[in-house]
Structure formats: structure tokens, C-alpha cells
Amino acid sequence: MGDVDPCTITARSARHAAERPDHVAVVCDGRELTYGRLHRESNRTAHALAAAGLRPGARIAYLGRETEHYYDLAVGCAKAGMVLVPINWRLTAREVDHILRDSGAELIFVEREFRDVVDRLRASVPTLRLVAALDTEAGPTAGFLAWKADAPEADLPVTARTDDPMVQMYTSGTTGLPKGVVLAHRTFFTFIEHTTRAGVDWIDWRPEDRSLICFPGLHSAGLAWFMHGFTVGATNVIMRMFVAEEAVDLIVRHRVTTMWAAPAMLQMMLSDQRVTQETFRSLRKVVYGGSPISAELLRRCIDAFDGGLAQMYAAAETGSVVTCLAPADHVPGNPRLGSAGRVCPGNEVRILDEDGAELPPNRIGQVCLRTPAHFVEYWGRPEETAAMLRDGWLHMGDAGYLDEEGYLFLCDRINDTIIVAGQNIYPVEVENALREHPAVADAAVLGVPDPRWGEVVRACVVPRPGQSVTGRELMLFLRGRIADFKIPGGYRFLDELPRNPTGKVLRRVLRDRFTAEPAASRG
């Protein structure tokens, strides 16, 4: 391939089209797209983008549910040297407006269901000059196909380099407006390269795999899972949106071999009344992450997935997997089940104190890591980029520690750490203690400003169906389990905790409720 950089999505598309053109690349709603067809269709997409007057580096937005053509567009943007900007369809109009403005998107592909939002915002977004329909009454992809109907299928020159930007993902924004995380082609190659070279298969993708994507590709984790499968030539099974019953059906129908899901998704799937011991027999690897997993759910998953369970720790800024709790570690009673696993080949992790000094094992500090998959930049935010990425090291917002064997234990988000009279309290420790109460289904702990102590500890609790518990009962229950200064002094009982689309608890929302109605927090 001459001086063509092989570690790009553009080069890999051409390679698959030449070597495995009839192998199915994507399955969605019963429709199949082979690697040969995906290559030709993404060529047409790239030609149509250029014909629309868009130049390399242009930001192309997508607002809609997933279809196989979302990934056609992702590959097509890469071939045209443009950058895809996925927008989660669950976001508010204000959040959509922010992403369009922040990214400087020039073209947006939108489903009819969300067209009104775009039409209202269009006049106020100066860069947005083109709006294209994804769907029509003729079908979920008819508009997109009509948009590029006259574009040729001919190959484009492969000019992309591995460090070129390819996608701009927006963070979930649990503490404020989301930032654009720019990822390069290399993001989707380095993890597989390093683990293959090291002979490690904790998390792996194989050409013969049928990979189920539970996370939406509009999220960095979902897109990364697809792209890793794409780079090896696997078959990717996608859903328009996650529905637990549909996910179970797809696993059985397509004999899915590997999947990635959040703990909440696994819990919903295991609660499907049709699930038996045979339901998940085809799965060789089930990867979970994105939010904490309870001990009870972990036990159920170990039983259900028959030794093929792996946990991963990653973030949008890391681009790919940082640490992994391998299947061999998923043994009942293993004290390291509460960890995020060991550092994956090619990566490094350090724990630093407040002065930037490296801490010894078992001391809690800021998690810092180095990975070749790391993000390029926060779009338009050089100061925040420099604060996050220093000398090749990502300074994460997570607090944690490494044990003597190099297993990473995450304690909490640094921003979520509660400081009461100078004492650091990590919410996850208190939440885990609360969940031990037989009447508690879920809990979120947060700090609320207090004039005397700086902050005080408060808890939001979801009781189990048909059960009740009081704040006083929980306070008495926690005594002896955690230090007295960590015990919440106020409780609010909710039907469910507010979460973002990836399952993370929106502590900001809960904190606002406590601040607005302090009296209601008394339990």
C-alpha cells in the first residue's frame, strides 16, 4: 500500500473490502451491510460530503438513533478528512445548541423526530449551513441514501494519517456543559496492537466474532467498541437504541460471541423472564464498565456468563481501555473483584498526591495514566487540554489507589469527594455500606455546602419494592460499618436515581435538590 498509513480507518476499510468483501460488517433491524458494501457506501458518502462544498477538517453532526448508516457516515467522514460529531438524541435543545455552536458544525444529519429542534436552532448557529434528513416515510435510512444517490463509489486517495482527528465526542456533562473530546484514528488501533503483541486476551476481538453493541455509538464507549470490532473485521450487531429484551433476542438469534454493556444493562437483561442457562451460551466474552457494579449483580453475572466476564476502566479522554479485571479474576470471594483490574499492555498508571508526588501502594490519590490511545484535545479549549494532558500523562478526575500487585481500585471522582472539617469522604464507600441494608436497592451520597463544616454528608436512597426504611434506621445501621463522620446526617427517599444515558448518577441534580429544599433531606 506504498506509504499509506495502515493504522487508519480509511486504510482498514479498503483492506477489508479487498480481503473479506462478503463478510457481514453490520447488522441492524434485520438489514446487513457487508465489508465490501460498507466500503463502497462510505466512498459515496465521502464524495457527497466533498461535493457539498465541505473541506477537510469540517465538523459533521449526527442527531438520531442508530442505523448501519451511522457507521457508514463515520467511515465516510474519515475518508473525506472530516470529523464526525455525534449528538445524543436524549439531550435537551439547550445541550444540542451548545454542541452545534461549540463544534462549529457545518452539516447535520437529523431524523424527523428531532428535526423541529434543529429547525429552531438553525438560525442561531452561525456555522450550520446544511441540514440533511436521515429518514423519510419510506424508511429509517431513505433520506440518507437519497442525499448521496448521485455520488460515485470509486475509491478516494488514502491520505489519512494515524494521528489525524476522526471524531469529536462530547462528554456527558455531569458537572456542566459538555466538552468536545477529539479522537484520532490511532485511538482504535493501539489497544489491539499492544495486547496482541503481549499475548494478552483479557479483552479481545476476533474476525469471526459477532459483537453486540449495547452502548450507543453516539457515546465514546459504543463507537470505540464498534471500531475495535471493525479493525479486525468482525460482525457488529447494533440496536437503534438499547432495549434489554431485544438485546437478549439478538444474542440468541445471531449467536453473539462478545458484547460490552453497562452494569444497569446487564441487570435488565438478566431480569428478562425468558433467560435460562442456555440463553448466553454463545458468549465467550462479556465486558462491563462505565459505572460501579454491586456485589449482588456481579455474583449473578459470574454465574450467568460462565467465566467469560471482564471489567474495563476507560474514559472518553483515554480513547480505549486502560485497565482490565480479567475473566480469571472473576472468582467468587476474590478480594480484587472490587478493583478495576490491572493495567493493560501499552499503558501506565500512577497515583499522585496533591503536590504531584507519586504515592506508594494502597495510598489514595489522583489517578494519572499514560496510553497511546489518548485523545488529541478538548476542542477549542487549550488550557483545559493542557490541564488534563501533561507530558503525555492524563490527569484523571478519579481518586484511587494501586495495590501491591498493580490492581487499580477506584474510590470516587475527585470532584465528588466530600470534605467535612478537613476529612476526605469518598461517596462510593458510604454507598456500598448503605446497599448492604436489606431494604436498600440503590443509593447516592453527596456533599452539601454547610457554613460550619464546609460540607455535610447527605444520601439519596431508593428502597427495594415493597419495603420501607427511615433515615434513623439507616444511621443506626451504618454505625460500626463506617466511621461516624462518614455517616449521612440527612436522607431523601426516591423512586429512582437520576442518571445520564450511560448510567452515571447525576449528583449535580441531587445536590441541587438538597440545596433548594434542605428541610426535605431530613429522614
- The 10s digit of each residue's pLDDT in 157-167 is 989 999 999 99
The kind and range of the H/E element at 295 are helix 295-304
Which of 177-181, 437-441, 513-517 has the largest mean confidence?
A: 437-441
The contacts of residue 56 (CB under 8 Å, 6+ apart) are 80, 81, 82
By mean pLDDT, which of 58-62, 186-190, 396-400, 465-469 is the weakest? Answer: 396-400
Of residues 261, 321, 318, the one with CA closest to residue 293: 261
By mean pLDDT, which of 307-311, 494-498, 502-506 is the weakest? Answer: 502-506
Over range 89-110, report the average pLDDT: 91
| pLDDT score at 1 | 45
pTM (global) more than 0.95: no
- Per-domain residue ranges of the chain: 9-188, 346-414, 417-521
**Could you tell me the CA-to-CA distances from 313 to 44, 326, 392 in Å, in that order?**
36, 12, 19
Res. 238: pLDDT tops 80: yes
| pLDDT score at 523 | 42
| pLDDT score at 354 | 86
Question: pLDDT category, 519, cuts 50, 70, 90?
Answer: very low
Over range 73-77, report the average pLDDT: 98
* In 57-200, alpha helices (H): 68-80, 93-103, 115-122, 142-147, 190-198
Please write the tens of the pLDDT for every residue from 126-155: 999 999 999 998 888 899 999 999 999 999
| pLDDT score at 490 | 93
Over range 454-474, report the average pLDDT: 93
| pLDDT score at 174 | 45
CATH of 346-414, one of 3.60.70.12, 3.40.50.720, 3.30.390.50, 2.30.38.10: 2.30.38.10
On the CB side of 287, how many CA atoms lie within 13 Å of its CA?
26
Res. 307: pLDDT tops 90: no
Res. 173: pLDDT tops 60: no
Over range 473-500, report the average pLDDT: 90
| pLDDT score at 521 | 39
Question: pLDDT category, 501, cuts 50, 70, 90?
Answer: low
| pLDDT score at 175 | 46
Over range 251-279, report the average pLDDT: 92
CATH code, 417-521: 3.30.300.30
Over range 50-64, report the average pLDDT: 97
Res. 176: pLDDT tops 90: no
- Residues of the chain with pLDDT > 90, as a percent, come to 73
Return d(Cα 277, Cα 279) in angstroms, integer: 6
Res. 198: pLDDT tops 50: yes
Considering only residues 207 and 416, tell me which one the structure prediction assigns the higher pLDDT.
207
| pLDDT score at 428 | 82
Domains 9-188 and 417-521 share a fold: no
| pLDDT score at 485 | 81
Q: Give me the chain's average pLDDT, please.
A: 91
Res. 295: pLDDT tops 80: yes
Please write the tens of the pLDDT for every residue from 27-46: 999 999 999 999 999 999 99
Architecture category of domain 9-188 in CATH: 3-Layer(aba) Sandwich (3.40)
Q: Are 420 and 455 within 8 A, CB to CB?
A: yes
| pLDDT score at 450 | 76
